[in-house]
Chains A and B, each alone.
Chain A
């Protein structure tokens, strides 16, 4: 009898802990984060967001969310006289999950506008679906050229290849590297970034000695590091801040002192990653679409906003999500609150605006035209930070577009 009581008590206690844990869980919810809607005849405009809160790029989900929320807070969650309702789902760095959540957002929540997801392979899977459902969908950090045929994607800052092409030329012409080894994460997005760099580097006259592609979530890069052939420089393009830190750390730990360069440094060199890498991060130049040290009025306002909201300076993740949200809001103002696809597409592609990352316009195919910068990590006092631009390329446009 006593044993029974103890067993039951234990079980209740354990169940209690489980329930508490479940309640305290980090939310990746579908909670609408809008202000309380004022009673109007028109229902709120819904904007969906597919962000990754779990998986290899889990660090970035909260950053994108902060950027979107800041843009919405600045207009009080209102546009064209209507309330805006944001619905966020976790795409878990997985194509299957992204498709499943997208279907949920479109079929159940009836969204017509979707921000994200991040990963290039998810773009390829979602493009035909979004075109069929007539949903305006945006990239988060660059997009895939192959989705242009569906005319459903807003690609910002530009396609993956176009983003890094000027950096490939810069590495040869300005940094003087003649040969390079490229190591990239093996999925559509980073392969595209690598391809752009490789084309730029080769077009300028350089030679790519070796290309290595490592699966997503590789825990131990040592087999890849040990097989690298000698070259003037190693260019790395891994899937997120975590894998980037791991590769750079393991590369240096194996005794390799040679120069490193990278792409999407603005996304990978988050303040947290820099605080961890410390001196290892210094001296690596990288391509960036944004740095918080850019000197323009929109950026000053934006950096202040993000500092107040998150306590950190922004990386490109917050900026891209913020600017994309502002683009959507500006387009909605233009259409008078009409979020149907054809009106929105016409409105977005006709926009010209100044953003924290610099001037922005769009091609008729929905690809943004933005500036590309070269940055590096620098030590300011005791802090490791991303630098101001060392070099700027204005108005980057994909060479395959008319």
Chain B
């Protein structure tokens, strides 16, 4: 029972990191029709910036998380304003451009911080375990889970209960009508991209409590994010959350029960879910 519970909790907390990574990318894909493959790299830069603030300068962990988010938002703003807004609906060009940015950002990280793996880090007061009977559970994983839920609820509220959320959702379905109503969709689109990139950078620092920080993170995380989006459905917060949790739990249990298949578990999960629901769990049919 202890093993089952510990795996479940580990799976949930890992799934929450996946959700945080994927949610922004999914929204951007759904709202703006932009495939941003550099989303994982933005996560990575956020993690490195957070490391610099928290470990090199020894400042507060939450300040580091905020700094990571700001760095992420900055990169996102730059990418969107200078490059991506010229590539509306040109998916091939978007893919090439953003993939190129992955390499640029990765090499900037190697140049500034070196190729070495950085150890997981967190606030000193969070660096403890909670005793749950037969096993101990690290506090950081609980923090990740709670934060993920707060952000999920916040994003869902923004999406479903606010005017800007209504504009975003309407824009996903029919841009022309929205423009016809006199709403400046460009500003909304930029805001969404900025928010998504901020969350990616912020997630980078939150996730760094669990995962190491290293230059390959941009691509590794991208793969995970894509798996979550495919499973959860494009453009949906609920989908990203469900997808993230499902993949996190399946991956964790898969590794625990069938370590020989460890390389496949995420993709096995993807295949199984897509067989049942091809547009993803909460996907909008194109």
Stretch among A73-81, A209-217, A304-312 lining the B interface = A209-217
Q: Mark interface residues in A334-355 (1 if CB within 8 Å of B CB, else 0).
A: 0000000000000000000000
User: Considering the complex, which residues of chain A in the window 33-54 have a beta carbon less than 8 Å from any beta carbon of chain B?
Assistant: 53-54
Q: A272, B210: Cβ atoms under 8 Å? A: no
CB distance from B228 to the nearest CB of A (A): 14
Which residues of B are found within 8 Å of A61, using beta-carbon distances?
A: 115
Q: Which of B120, B140, B256 contacts A224 (CB 8 A)?
A: B256
Is B278 part of the contact surface with A, judged by Cβ < 8 Å? no
| Stretch of B169-177, B197-205, B213-221, B236-244 contacting A (4+ beta carbons < 8 Å) | B213-221
Contact B216–A55 (Cβ < 8 Å): yes
Stretch at the interface among B27-35, B104-112, B150-158, B182-190: B104-112
User: Which residues of the partner chain B approach A253 to less than 8 Å between Cβ atoms?
Assistant: 127, 129, 138, 140
Question: Among the interface residues B83, B215, B216, which one has the most CB atoms of the partner chain A within 10 A?
Answer: B216
A56 to B118, CA, bound (A): 12
Pairwise interchain contact B255-A224, C-beta atoms closer than 8 A: yes
Q: A223-B252, A249-B119, A253-B129 are in contact. Are A10 and B82 (CB under 8 A)?
A: yes
- Is the Cβ of A26 less than 8 Å from the Cβ of B129? no
Interface string of A156-181 (1 = CB under 8 A from B): 00000000000000000000000000
A-chain residues with CB within 8 Å of residue B216 when the two chains form the complex: 54-56, 58, 217
In the complex, whether A222 has a CB less than 8 A from a CB of chain B is yes
Determine whether A59 belongs to the interface, using a CB cutoff of 8 Å to chain B.
Answer: yes
Question: Known contacts A25-B111, A215-B262; is A223 also within 8 Å of B256 by CB?
Answer: yes
Q: Which of B82, B140, B256, B262 contacts A226 (CB 8 A)?
A: B256
- Other-chain contact of B107, A10, A26, A226 (Cβ < 8 Å): A26
In the complex, what residues of B have CB within 8 A of residue A215's CB? 262-263
Q: Is the CB of B259 within 8 A of A246?
A: no
What separation, in Å, do the CA atoms of A249 and B119 have in the docked complex? 8
B137 to chain A, nearest CB (A): 8
The chain B residue sitting closest to A270, CB to CB, is B116
Interface residues of B in 124-148 (CB under 8 A from A): 127, 129, 131, 135-138, 140
Give the CA-CA distance A344 to B14 in the complex, in Å. Answer: 52
A26 near B256 with CB under 8 A, answer no
A242 neighbours in B (Cβ, 8 Å): 116-117, 212, 214
Q: When the two chains form their complex, are residues A18 and B117 in contact, meaning their CB atoms are under 8 A apart?
A: no
Could you tell me how many residues of chain B have their Cβ less than 8 Å away from some Cβ of chain A? 44
A323 close to chain B: CB less than 8 A: no
Q: Which of B221-257 contact A (CB under 8 A)?
A: 251-256
Across the interface, name the chain A residue whose C-beta is closest to B116. A59
Report the contact-size class of chain A (Cβ under 8 Å from the partner): 35 or more
Is B10's beta carbon under 8 Å from chain A? Answer: yes
Q: How many A-B residue pairs have CB under 8 A?
A: 125
Q: Quick check: is B6 within 8 A (CB to CB) of the other chain?
A: yes
A222 touches B212 (CB 8 A): no
A61 and B215 CA atoms in complex are apart in Å by: 14
Are A14 and B82 within 8 A (Cβ)?
A: yes
Do B107 and A254 touch (CB < 8 A)? no
Name which residue of chain A comes closest to B109, CB basis: A26
Please indicate the chain B residues that have their CB under 8 angstroms from the CB of A254 in the complex: 6, 129, 135-138
Q: Is A120 an interface residue (CB 8 A)?
A: no
Interface: A5 (CB within 8 A): no
> Distance (Å) between the CB of A10 and the closest chain B CB?
5
B258 shortest CB reach to chain A, Å? 10
CB atoms of A226 and B6 under 8 A apart: yes
Given contacts A242-B212, A253-B138, A254-B138, contact A26 B111 (CB under 8 A): yes
B267 vs chain A, min Cβ distance (A): 13
Residue B211 interfacial (CB < 8 Å): yes
Decide: B119 and A277 in contact? CB cutoff 8 A.
yes
Q: Name the A residues within 8 Å of B212 (CB-CB).
A: 219, 242-243, 245-246
Evaluate contact between A220 and B3: CB separation under 8 angstroms.
no
Given contacts A223-B252, A224-B255, A276-B118, contact A18 B104 (CB under 8 A): yes
- On whether the beta carbons of B10 and A226 are closer than 8 Å, the reply is yes
- Residue of A with least CB distance to B248: A220
Contact A14/B83 with A224-B259, A245-B119 known, Cβ cut-off 8 Å: yes
Known: A214-B262, A223-B253. A276 touches B119 (CB 8 A): yes
In the complex, the chain B residue whose C-beta lies closest to that of A256 is B136
Q: Which residues of the other chain, B, contact A250 by a CB distance below 8 angstroms?
A: 120
In chain A between 356 and 395, which residues have their CB closer than 8 angstroms to a CB of chain B?
Answer: none
User: What residues of chain B lie closer than 8 Å to A402, measured between beta carbons?
Assistant: none
Residue from B107, B215, B255, B263 whose CB has the most chain A CB atoms within 10 Å: B255
A14-B82, A245-B119, A246-B119 are contacts. A220–B210 as well, Cβ < 8 Å? yes
Task: Decide if B7 touches A226 in the complex (CB within 8 Å).
Answer: yes
Q: Which residues of A contact B111 (CB under 8 A)?
A: 21, 24-26
The complex places the Cα of A226 from the Cα of B262 at a distance, in Å, of 15
Contact (A213, B117) CB under 8 Å given A219-B211, A254-B138: no
The 5 closest A-B pairs by CB, nearest first: A255-B136, A242-B117, A58-B115, A223-B255, A223-B256
Which residues of chain B have a CB within 8 Å of any CB of chain A? 3, 6-7, 10, 14, 82-83, 104, 107-108, 110-111, 114-120, 127, 129, 131, 135-138, 140, 210-212, 214-216, 220, 251-256, 259-260, 262-263
Given contacts A223-B253, A226-B10, A242-B117, 18 further A-B pairs with CB under 8 A are: A21-B104, A21-B107, A54-B216, A56-B214, A59-B116, A61-B115, A62-B115, A186-B262, A213-B259, A218-B262, A220-B211, A222-B7, A242-B214, A245-B212, A253-B140, A254-B129, A255-B129, A255-B136
- Write 15 A-B pairs (CB below 8 A) sorted by A numbering: A14-B83, A26-B107, A26-B114, A56-B214, A214-B262, A215-B262, A217-B216, A220-B10, A222-B7, A223-B10, A223-B252, A223-B259, A226-B256, A227-B259, A246-B120
